[in-house]
Every structure is written in C-alpha cells, then in structure tokens.
C-alpha cells in the first residue's frame, strides 16, 4: 500500500507518518503542501491531509484530491478542509484545546483522544455524517457515508491518544482498504 501525506507545515506530520507506517506497514511519502498541485492522487492508495496551522480557507487546491475517488483521511485541519469542501463551516472554539485529552465514544468503545485545535466544525458539510462527538457536541469523527472520505478532529499520532492505530485501521476499513 502506498500512502501520501500532504504536509500542511505541521510539526505532527512526521509523527503521523510514523504511526501510519507502524500500524499499516505501508510505504508512506510526505509531500509539502507547496507541492500539492503536482500530487497525482491516482498514484496513491490513500491521501492523508495533515494537521496544520490556520483556517481551511487558507489551503485551496484540495478539491481535485477530494473528488478524485482516491481514499482521503483528513486529520485536524485535514478534517476541516474536507468539511469546507462540502460547504461546511469552521469557527473558533470558545476556548483553545491544545495538548488536552478528551473522551469520545466510538464503535462501542470509549477512547481518550488528543485535541490540538482552536477551530471546530460549526456546521457539518452536506453529505457528511458525524460518527463521534465529544461531550460538548464538537464533531470528532466525520465521514462521507458513500465515498472513501474520513476526517478526525483529534490527533491519533499524539501520545495523548491511547490507541491511535485503531483510528488509522478504522480509516482504512471505512475507505475499503482493509
């Protein structure tokens, strides 16, 4: 399996690469967002849109990746980029949750997950479905039920997420890769 991570200039990208390699055994390539226009999604089994600073509106050019039919996993900013593509809105949280653990219920289990964000999905895009939210109702896992697209608001690669590999494997299964 060949996976490309588009790095949106985030310090977590190499940790995410490591988690994906350890969890899947995939060959993972990291490309900077500055090279996004040169990424041919058809060459990859999955495209991962990394976390990153700023607002999803500051990252144009992902539409052809998202609409390519190739599976896409978005993490944090990557989730927000997926949501914006489907007409959703991203707004500032009342507080900032950088480096804090939270709890979500998902797939019949309770997970501790790592949050590093000051923005959140204030309106979920058309056609997307929230699969997990925290106790305050902040969407934490969003999928497209009919397309191989999934986004995580939290960071599976953080040490604060107890079982990050579970979420990588779940993303692969959702996208039909496992």
Neighbours of 160 (CB within 10 A): 17
- Catalytic residue of the set 157, 170, 174, 175: 157
- Catalytic residue of the set 17, 76, 85, 170: 76
CA-CA distance, 21 to 17, in Å (whole number)? Answer: 6
- Comparing CA positions, the residue from 95, 92, 97, 75 lying closest to residue 150 is 75
CA-CA distance, 56 to 42, in Å (whole number)? Answer: 23
Across-strand partners of 121?
A: 90
- Identify the burial level of 122 via C-beta atoms within 10 angstroms of its C-beta, where 0-12 means exposed, 13-18 middle and 19 or more buried: middle
* Whether 157 is catalytic: yes
The DSSP bridge pattern shows strands 149-152 and 139-144 to be: antiparallel
- Catalytic residue of the set 85, 117, 120, 155: 155
* Whether 155 is catalytic: yes
- Residues annotated as catalytic (active site), given as ranges: 76, 155, 157
């Amino acid at each position: 399996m060949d996976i490309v991570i588009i790095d949106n200039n985030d310090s977590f990208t190499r940790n995410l690469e490591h988690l994906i390699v350890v969890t899947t055994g995939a060959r993972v390539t990291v490309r900077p967002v500055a090279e996004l226009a040169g990424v041919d999604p058809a060459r990859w089994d999955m495209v991962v849109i990394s976390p990153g600073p700023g607002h999803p509106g500051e990252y144009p050019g992902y539409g052809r990746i998202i609409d390519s039919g190739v599976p896409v996993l978005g993490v944090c900013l990557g989730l927000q980029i997926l949501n914006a593509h489907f007409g959703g809105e991203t707004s500032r949280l009342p507080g900032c949750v950088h480096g804090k653990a939270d709890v979500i219920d998902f797939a019949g289990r309770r997970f501790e997950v790592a949050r590093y964000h000051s923005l959140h999905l204030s309106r979920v895009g058309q056609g997307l479905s929230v699969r997990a939210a925290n106790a305050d109702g902040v969407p934490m896992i969003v999928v497209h039920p009919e397309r191989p697209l999934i986004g995580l608001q939290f960071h599976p690669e953080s040490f604060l997420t107890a079982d990050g590999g579970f979420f990588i494997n779940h993303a692969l299964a959702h996208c039909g890769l496992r």
